[in-house]
Amino acid sequence: MAKKLNWIEYYFGHCFRTGWREIWNNFKMWRDLISGNYADYAVSKTDDPYEECYQWFWCSINMDETYPKEFLDYLHQLVEDIDTGKQKTYSLDEVMEELRDSLESDHFASQMDLDDVGYSYKQNPDDDTQREEGTTQNS
């Protein structure tokens, strides 16, 4: 059985550490906002760095990454179940193959008939796939 957190480990190991980390992150954003060091907050060329820093600061005050003890115990148990083989895991390739198979199945094909949409895709080896409006594959 997975080791459950006792209340001391939970409060000191998770709550206090997470709380102080959030306070430190908020302080760094406040410091950047007050000192005018907000150039790195712009993600794209059209973003206003000051506005991004301002928004991040006020949004981060409401962020709380402290999780309930029961949820952390559940995660510890889940990790142990995965390690011991009780919980089956799937690779990304298996998941994508299953998704592809289900999308190509008759069940989904009957619900999502592309001929009814009014668009077709021209397959040309010299060109990229292009959408032609107003035509169907049957036309």
pLDDT digits (tens, 9 = 90+) for 41-84: 888 889 899 999 999 899 888 888 889 999 999 999 999 999 99
Decide if 38 is inside a domain. yes
In a domain, 74, yes or no: no
End-to-end CA distance of the chain: 63
Number of domains in the chain: 1
Residue 72 domain-assigned (yes or no): no
Structural domain contains residue 45: yes
Domain residue limits at 53 = 7-66
Q: Is 89 contained in some domain?
A: no
Burial of 121 (0-12, 13-18, 19+ CB in 10 A): exposed
3 has a pLDDT exceeding 80: no
Percent of the chain with pLDDT over 90: 39
The continuous run of DSSP H or E covering 72 comes out as helix 69-84
pLDDT at 139: 47
Segment 112-128 shows an average pLDDT of 51
Structure confidence by residue, pLDDT tens digits, 5-35: 888 999 988 899 998 999 999 999 999 999 9
